[in-house]
Amino acid sequence: MAWLILVISGALEAVWATALGRSEGFTKPGPSVVFAVGLVGSMAGLAYAMRDLPIGTAYAVWVGIGATLTVAYAMVTGGESVSVAKIVFLTMIVGGVVGLKAAH
């Protein structure tokens, strides 16, 4: 259960990171609310997962999922350019996350 919660909270990290960028310094209320809700949910899920998982592993997986999804979303929506190098490095992050899960 801890792994499932960790994956969901990693996805919420991507939500709040994207909303933070769209809030334009918290001047837009909609994205600002999404940021706050996503942040609280993401941190709560990470804290819950850390009850059963090693801190270093949980944090690395959480950041890896969040970073990968944030960049992937930006590439899909045109906010960031797509390149072979970026895809290779994102794949490496995903491989690292899977490796941490397998090593646990």
Digit-coded pLDDT (tens) for 1-57 = 999 999 999 999 999 999 999 999 999 999 999 999 999 999 999 999 999 999 999
**Domain range annotation of the chain:** 2-103
- Taking a C-beta distance cutoff of 8 angstroms, is the pair 2, 52 a contact? yes
**Nearest alpha-carbon partner for 46 in 36, 31, 56:** 56
Task: Please name the amino acid found at residue 56.
Answer: G
Model pTM greater than 0.75? yes
The answer to whether the CB of 94 falls within 8 A of the CB of 64 is yes
* Per-residue pLDDT tens over the stretch 65-87: 999 999 999 999 999 999 999 99
Q: Are 53 and 6 in contact (CB under 8 A)?
A: yes
